[in-house]
Amino acid sequence: MTARKSGFIVGAVAGAGVACAALAGMGMRMGTADAAQAPVVRASTATAPTFAPPPGAPMSFADIFEKVSPAVVQINVTSKAKAPSLRIPGLEGFDIVPRGQRRPGQPGQEQQDEDGDTPATPKQQSAGSGFFISADGYIVTNNHVVAEADDIQVVLKDGRELKATLVGRDEGTDLAVIKVVDPKAKGKDFTFVNFENQAKPRVGDWVITIGNPFGLGGTATAGIISAYDRNLNDNTSSFVPYIQIDAPINRGNSGGPSFDIYGRVIGVNSAIYSPTGGSVGIGFAIPAEVAEGVAKQLIANGKVVRGYIGVSILDFSAEMAEALGLTDVKGAIVADVVPGQPAAKAGLLPDDILVAVNGVKIADRSELTREVSKARPGETIKMSIIRDGKPRVVNVTSGTRPSESSLAATGDDQGQDGATPTPDKPASQKVDALGLTLAPIDAAARQTYKIEPEIKGLLIIGVKGDSDAGEKGLAKGDVLANINGAPVVSAGDVSAAVEAAKKAGRTSVLVKVIRQNRSVFVPLKIAP
C-alpha cells in the first residue's frame, strides 16, 4: 500500500490490490435468531441469563466465507527496487548516487563492478489481494498493487501458485485487471464471483471482507457500511464515490472484495484512513458499479477511455454563491480554460459556473468530472452554466481525457520559488473593507513572482492579518484578477464592487486570485 496524498489516507495495503466481485443470485442467508423463539435475553432460575443476538444479526459469517473465499487470491509482485539517493541541503538539483549504481536515465554503458560483471538490478517484493471475476482467470485488483510489477504470481486458497500477467490498469480509479497464464492452471475452472450492482446495502448493514493483510492470506473480517459517497481528496476521488466501512482492513487487503451478508460483492477494498498505518476502523472500498465498468473496459481494450473538455474547476461553495447573490446554486466554477481544448473551442470561459451536465444536476467538481467522463470522445456534452448571473447552455464536443499521471505532471510544473529580491514597491492603495493593499503589476513584480505576461489584475503587496483575506491565506505576491466576475484594473474597481455588494445587501464578495499562475476563487467577508 502506498501513501495517499491528503491526511493520513493510505492504500489499504503496502503493495496490495483491488478486488471486487459478487455472487449474484447466490441467495444465501445467514442464520438469525428468531424473534419469537430467541429473545435478546433468556432468564432462567437455574442458570445465569443467556444473551442471544437480536433479529437481523447473523449468527456466523462462516457460510459466506466457505462459498466465496476460493475466488479470493493473494497477489505477490516482484518489481525493480528504486535506487536510493541522498539529498544535501543546498544541492537540491543533484542526486548523490551510491557507488556502484547508475543514476536513472544516465547515458553511457552499464556500470560494472571490479570483476567486470554488470551488477544485478535490485528487486523488491510486495503483496496484495484480488479476486476472480471469470472462470478463465481474469482477476480484479488495485492499480497500486501491480503498477510497477515485473512479475506477478497469485496464490489460490488451495495453495497453488500461478503466474499472471497484466491485462490493463486505470490510475483514475486505482483499479487493474490481471489474468492467470500459468500452464499449470487446470483449464478454465476457477471459482469466481460477480459484481452486485442492483442490491445496495444500507448504512448500518453488515459487510465482510476477505484478503491478505500483512501477508496473512485468506483472512476474513466483518463490520458495517459506515457511509457512502466519501471523497478522499486524491486523484481517484473524481471518479470514485467511495464506500466507507469499519470492517478491519490493513496493508495487504487492497484489491480484496467486500461482501454483503448474501455473499454478493459490493465493493473493492482500496484505502484506509490511519495516523499509524494500521486499521483504526475507517476503510474505503470502490463501489461495485464503478469496478465492474472499469474491469470490462480493461478486459476489452486494456485501458479506460473517458470524456474530457479541458477546464480547471473548483467547487462552487455556499460562500461563493452568497457573495454573488446565487444562494440556491450548486456546482463547479471554471478557474481556467485550457487553450485549444474542447471547452475553449466551445466558448466556455473562466468564471462560468457549471450547474448541470446533459441535464444531470451536479453539486461539486467531482460530480462534474464523473458526468463528463461518461461521454465518449466526439460526443456532444450539454453544459448548463450561469454566466454574468444568467443561465445559458454551451454544447461541448468531448475529447479524450489524458492519463492521470500526464495531468498531474502538467499541473505540478509550478514549484515554490526560492528567496528572491523584493521588487521596488510600486504605487499602492489599500482596500480596508477587504484588508488588502494592492498595486499595479510591473516588470519587477512579474520577474520576482513569476507572473506570466497574459495575467492581468492587481498585485497583492499587503494583507491585514486579522482580516478574512488573511485568515483564508491570501498573501503577498498573489494577483487579484477579478471581483464578482468583473476584471480588476485599479483599486477603484475593487472598492466599487465592494460598495455594490453592500447596496445589494450582501456581506461578502467573490474574488479570483492567481498564485503561481493558477486560479482560485475565494469568498471574502466585507469588513464593517
Burial class (CB in 10 A: 0-12, 13-18, 19+), 67: middle
How far apart, in Å, are the Cα atoms of 491 and each of 105, 217, 353, 478, 484? 51, 65, 25, 15, 14
**Annotated catalytic residue within 174, 260, 351, 493:** 174
174 belongs to an annotated ligand binding site: yes
144 belongs to an annotated ligand binding site: yes
Type of residue numbered 63:
D
Centroid of chain to Cα 356: 22
CB 212 within 8 A of CB 330: no
Question: Is 254 one of the annotated active-site residues of the chain?
Answer: yes
Residues 6+ apart with CB under 8 A from 244: 225, 226, 227, 228, 230, 282, 283, 284
The HSE-up count of residue 399 (CA atoms within 13 Å, CB side) is 15
Give the distance between the most distant pair of CA atoms in the chain.
93
> Cα separation of 450 and 385, whole Å?
32
Collapse the DSSP code of 323 into the 3-class scheme (helix H, G, I; strand E, B; otherwise coil) and give the result: helix
Type of residue numbered 53:
P
C-alpha cell at 505: 445587501
Question: Is 151 one of the annotated active-site residues of the chain?
Answer: no
**Annotated catalytic residue within 69, 134, 226, 254:** 254
Question: Is 182 one of the annotated active-site residues of the chain?
Answer: no
293 belongs to an annotated ligand binding site: no
**Annotated catalytic residue within 144, 237, 260, 384:** 144
CB 319 within 8 A of CB 313: no
> Cα separation of 180 and 452, whole Å?
52
Secondary structure (DSSP) of 214-227: GG--SEEEEEEEEE
Q: What is the DSSP letter of 487?
A: E
What residue numbers does the annotated binding site for substrate cover? 144, 174, 252-254
Q: Which residues are catalytic?
A: 144, 174, 254
What residue numbers does the annotated binding site cover? 144, 174, 252-254
